[in-house]
Amino acid sequence: MAESMKGLHRTHRCTEVSNKNIGETVTVMGWVQKSRNKGGIVFTDLRDRSGLLQIIFEEGSISSEVFERAGRLRSEFVIAVTGKVESRSGATNENLVTGDIEIRAKELRVLSEADTPPFPIEEASKTKEELRLKYRYLDLRRPDLQKNLIMRSKVATLTRQFLSEEGFLEIETPMLNKSTPEGARDYLVPSRVHPGNFYALPQSPQIFKQLLMCSGYDRYFQIAKCFRDEDLRADRQPEFTQIDMELSFVEIEDILDVNERLLQKLFKEVLGVEIQTPIQRMTYKEAMDRFGSDKPDLRFGMELKNVSEIVKDTEFAVFKGALENGGSIRGINAAGQADMPRKKIDALVDFAKGYGAKGLAYLAINEDGTYKSSFAKFMTEEELKALVSAMEGKPGDLLFFAADKDKIVYNVLGALRIEIADKLELLKKDDYHFLWVTEFPLLEWSEEEERFTAMHHPFTMPMEEDLHLLSTDPGKVRAKAYDIVLNGTELGGGSLRIYQNDIQEKMFEVLGFTKEDAYERFGFLLNAFKYGVPPHGGLAFGLDRLIMLMAKEDSIRDVIAFPKVKDASCLMTEAPNVVDAKQLDELGIGINNNLNL
């Protein structure tokens, strides 16, 4: 039975009651965490979003009807209780904020009864994620998910507050847009009024925010929903949220500065963590050379070393071949790991192969100075010594080497470095290492399309000192682009934008767009640029990833209220679903027959 709360007024949330209220009569409402009768007293733990509070119903001191009803309380019943705040009669519960008090109930209303939930509502749930997602409305009752969503709300609020104070305007950009097939796959929306035509959901507000700069809004931001119809990974969702911003009349330093202060504020006020500014900076080239990654995890060392020069005269076929093919040999030093069992080393070799390596050479330096190695027999003692010395190898260390084209070597050792650190438990989640990676390549060669594509997007400004290379050696042009990296995760990125028509046209030319192509896709932006455009640039943070790291979670699904799973479906609502034929008729579309539905 569901009673009404008519005439009742909640006076406190559970943990808003404290020993300062002793003697007062309060009314609290929430869910029964658990309830048990112990010798004529019913002890009920009441839960709301603030936490837990103990209620006692004592036989004799309340009406027998109330006591009887209290005896029937079960987990997840929703109740309203009026009673007096008292010091806890039993031992203080140190685990609870309200552990030194209890409410001696006088009145009880059962606002809603509850079936037994399919899994317990508790922290650090052991329940399979699939079941939790199906019953997300119950999963969301768990204190750890509540903590995450409360943190998310706080981060959004602080972000808005900070950016408003810095002169940013929050301006909404449209969701129903034109499809511009450059970059990821668009989600399309059929038009009923214009049958055969489609809107696209935004992959980002990129073009609109640049238009707003052309329109003189000076500083824009938005916490914006974005969409990409790509195959999902653990840190991807079909819809995700960006803290998106754009600034006029600025250079790179201005953008980095305001964002460093934003991060500083968020980490300070939400986590109590001090971020030192300026945040460390590193060029893309240096990041690749030292860490084999454009988003290096700086929580530990184990840097890559290029030993190509050391072994350039070796007869070891693997090394020799790599060098002959224009590649390199690089290594990392897993210090103190010389006694890693062969089985684990083999697992790492397999891991490396997953990243494109043909193999992985290793060399363990025994405590007595001798080597145990997969390739020592192919090299001279002198070569080995030089190699170990270049790697700063000491007795007890374990060295790994990859030999291949640079791209593969970086990829393999960059991933191996993280894998080893993870196995060695070097990746502490409360150890925050920020990094700006700068001077990204402007373009990357697409083997698939046999043309250069924009690494960031086609509006990214090239570095002035590389402008002359646009015609002669486009792959070498660096961009005024930057990523913000936290503990090996790319949190966000941005760039200065091209605001000169001639450079923009050149850029489209390099990308292989005809002028017609370019106007077909981005005509309104190119037209806007004819009427006076300020120098501008911006940045976007992935809010989901930022909260994931702040909440020390491994999946962004744990910081999104209603996430989707790998196949982009929602286990709770069962979206997407089949719709009425009438709806499709109105849109002028049909489902292809060959689908065999």
Beta bridge partners of 240: 226
From 176, 184, 234, 317, residue interacting with its own copies (rule: CB under 8 A): 176
| Window of 53-61, 111-119, 407-415, 482-490 that interacts with its own copies by CB under 8 A | 111-119
Decide: is 208 part of the binding site for its own copies (CB under 8 A): yes
Tell whether residue 554 is among the known ligand binding residues. Answer: no
Decide: is 586 part of the binding site for its own copies (CB under 8 A): yes
Residue 309: partners with Cβ closer than 8 Å, 6 or more residues away: none
Tell whether residue 229 is among the known ligand binding residues. Answer: yes
- What is the rounded distance in angstroms from the CA atom of residue 98 to the CA atom of residue 20? 11
Site for its own copies in 493-512 (CB under 8 A): 499-501
186/294 with CB nearer its own copies: 186
Site for its own copies in 552-571 (CB under 8 A): 560-562, 564, 567-570
Identify the CA nearest to 232 among candidates 484, 586, 563, 596.
Answer: 563
64/577 with CB nearer its own copies: 577
Decide: is 183 part of the binding site for its own copies (CB under 8 A): no
- What is the rounded distance in angstroms from the CA atom of residue 467 to the CA atom of residue 251? 17
From 127, 179, 308, 453, residue interacting with its own copies (rule: CB under 8 A): 179
Smallest gap, in angstroms, from Cβ of residue 461 to its own copies?
A: 10
Decide: is 252 part of the binding site for its own copies (CB under 8 A): no
| Window of 146-154, 314-322, 428-436, 482-490 that interacts with its own copies by CB under 8 A | 146-154
Decide: is 541 part of the binding site for its own copies (CB under 8 A): no
From 36, 72, 128, 194, residue interacting with its own copies (rule: CB under 8 A): 194
- What is the rounded distance in angstroms from the CA atom of residue 78 to the CA atom of residue 101? 21
The token duo for 522 is 């981005």
Three-state DSSP class for 325?
Answer: coil
221/452 with CB nearer its own copies: 221
- What is the rounded distance in angstroms from the CA atom of residue 528 to the CA atom of residue 15? 55
452/529 with CB nearer its own copies: 529
Smallest gap, in angstroms, from Cβ of residue 552 to its own copies?
A: 20
Decide: is 160 part of the binding site for its own copies (CB under 8 A): yes
From 192, 428, 451, 552, residue interacting with its own copies (rule: CB under 8 A): 192
The token duo for 337 is 């790991």
From 93, 107, 125, 217, residue interacting with its own copies (rule: CB under 8 A): 217
Decide: is 138 part of the binding site for its own copies (CB under 8 A): yes
Looking up tokens 């090996």 gives: 488
Three-state DSSP class for 222?
Answer: strand
Smallest gap, in angstroms, from Cβ of residue 271 to its own copies?
A: 18
Using CB atoms within 10 Å of the CB of residue 382, give its burial: 0 to 12 exposed, 13 to 18 middle, 19+ buried: exposed
Tell whether residue 490 is among the known ligand binding residues. Answer: yes
Tell whether residue 113 is among the known ligand binding residues. Answer: no
Smallest gap, in angstroms, from Cβ of residue 114 to its own copies?
A: 3
Decide: is 471 part of the binding site for its own copies (CB under 8 A): no
Q: Is 51 within 8 Å of 96 (Cβ atoms)?
A: yes
Decide: is 95 part of the binding site for its own copies (CB under 8 A): no
Decide: is 446 part of the binding site for its own copies (CB under 8 A): no
454, amino acid identity: A
From 54, 98, 173, 328, residue interacting with its own copies (rule: CB under 8 A): 173
Decide: is 466 part of the binding site for its own copies (CB under 8 A): no
Q: At what angle do helices 406-423 and 342-354 cross, to 10 degrees?
A: 140
From 22, 169, 184, 467, residue interacting with its own copies (rule: CB under 8 A): 169
64/596 with CB nearer its own copies: 596
119/378 with CB nearer its own copies: 119
- What is the rounded distance in angstroms from the CA atom of residue 568 to the CA atom of residue 515? 36
The most distant pair of C-alpha atoms in the chain lies apart, rounded to whole Å, by 94
Smallest gap, in angstroms, from Cβ of residue 32 to its own copies?
A: 8
Side-chain half-sphere CA neighbours of 573 within 13 A: 11
From 57, 162, 199, 459, residue interacting with its own copies (rule: CB under 8 A): 199
Question: 442-469 b/e with 16+ CB inside 10 Å = b?
Answer: bbeeeeeeeebbbbbbbbbbbbeebeeb
From 238, 393, 462, 474, residue interacting with its own copies (rule: CB under 8 A): 238
Using CB atoms within 10 Å of the CB of residue 369, give its burial: 0 to 12 exposed, 13 to 18 middle, 19+ buried: exposed
The token duo for 450 is 């046999």
Three-state DSSP class for 446?
Answer: strand
37/191 with CB nearer its own copies: 191
Strands (E), 252-339: 281-283, 305-306, 328-334
Decide: is 107 part of the binding site for its own copies (CB under 8 A): no
Beta bridge partners of 38: 41
Site for its own copies in 509-528 (CB under 8 A): 524, 527-528
Tell whether residue 237 is among the known ligand binding residues. Answer: yes
The token duo for 584 is 């499709």
Neighbours of 485 (CB within 10 A): 26
- What is the rounded distance in angstroms from the CA atom of residue 473 to the CA atom of residue 443? 11
Site for its own copies in 14-53 (CB under 8 A): 29-32, 47-49
Identify the CA nearest to 224 among candidates 543, 459, 592, 575.
Answer: 543
From 146, 374, 453, 489, residue interacting with its own copies (rule: CB under 8 A): 146
164/370 with CB nearer its own copies: 164
251/431 with CB nearer its own copies: 251
- What is the rounded distance in angstroms from the CA atom of residue 148 to the CA atom of residue 558? 7
Smallest gap, in angstroms, from Cβ of residue 76 to its own copies?
A: 4
Neighbours of 539 (CB within 10 A): 25
Number of residues in the chain: 597
Helix (H) or strand (E) holding 470: helix 469-472
Tell whether residue 182 is among the known ligand binding residues. Answer: yes
Which residues does the annotation place in the binding site for ATP?
228-230, 237, 490, 542-545
Which residues does the annotation place in the binding site?
182, 228-230, 237, 456, 490, 497, 542-545
Which residues does the annotation place in the binding site for L-aspartate?
182, 228, 456, 497
